[in-house]
């Protein structure tokens, strides 16, 4: 299982989204008290640090 993202539930609880490296199935697992907080934060910030599209193509005031 490979961590690919973070889910924040309506209760405020965080869950790690994992993808199976064999079959690509996605699963969510609640975080544990001993999970590395910095690693969780890095995983949560990954889409902001590496967006799926170029940000320079977005023009202010166009939508």
pLDDT at 12 exceeding the cut of 90? yes
Name the residue ranges covered by the structural domains of the chain. Answer: 2-50
3 to each of 9, 38, 43, 50, 63, how far by Cα in Å?
A: 17, 14, 8, 16, 32
pLDDT mean over 19-25:
96
52: its two tokens = 């799926």
pLDDT at 58 exceeding the cut of 60? yes
pLDDT at 62 exceeding the cut of 70? no
Place of tokens 């697992």: 29
β-bridge mates for residue 60, sequence order: none
């Amino acid at each position: 299982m490979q961590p690919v993202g973070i889910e924040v539930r309506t209760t405020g609880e965080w869950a790690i989204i994992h993808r199976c490296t064999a079959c690509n199935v996605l699963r969510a697992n609640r975080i544990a008290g001993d999970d590395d907080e910095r690693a969780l934060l890095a995983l949560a910030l990954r889409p902001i640090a590496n967006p799926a599209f170029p940000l320079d193509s977005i023009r202010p005031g166009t939508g």
